[in-house]
Each structure stands twice: as C-alpha cells, then as structure tokens.
Amino acid sequence: MARTNWEKRKRDFKRMVEKTKRNATRTGLKWEDDEVDRVMRGIERDESTYEMAMAIGRSYYAMQTARAHIRFAMDHAAVLHTNVTPIRRKANG
C-alpha cells in the first residue's frame, strides 16, 4: 500500500509540474521587478511554489529556483544591502 501511495503522490506531482509548464507564458524571459515583488509577497504569505508559479506564469522549477534565491536575499537583506557592488558584465565578443 505504501508503494501505491508513493506512486500516486509522484504522479500527482508530475501532473502539477506539467500544468505549470502549460501555463508558463514567460519561459526564458528575464524576471521583471513586479514578478520578484510578487514572489516576495507570496513568500511572506506562505503561498506554495505551485500557487506562485501559476499566478506569475512561470514553470514550477523556475519558481522553485527563484523562490530560493529571493528568500536568501530577504533573509540577508541587511548584509547584502550594505555590501553590494554593481556587477560589470563582460561585453559579448
């Protein structure tokens, strides 16, 4: 029975991930400030990664990664804010 429950949960998770992929309208695009703000508010309200992915139009895994990065920045904002220097990107070519 435990194997059946595990298989069902795995199947349900896969369906959920696929649903976010179908709903993803911003795949491959740079994250906008309003999206980051929405993720921050979602974290503060303890929304699920799935809920935020569906609201923003990103895949589950993109949201999972962004959520972890944004949460880290939120937790360490005081240190990051005082020690941040702009990143100078290399020109292509």
- Global confidence as pTM: 0.76
CA 58 centroid distance within chain: 8
Residue 88: is its pLDDT beyond 90? no
pLDDT for position 57 = 95
Residue-wise burial string across 67-76, b where 16 or more C-beta atoms lie within 10 A, e elsewhere: beebeeeeee
Span 13-60, pLDDT tens digits: 999 999 999 999 988 899 999 999 999 999 999 999 999 999 999 999
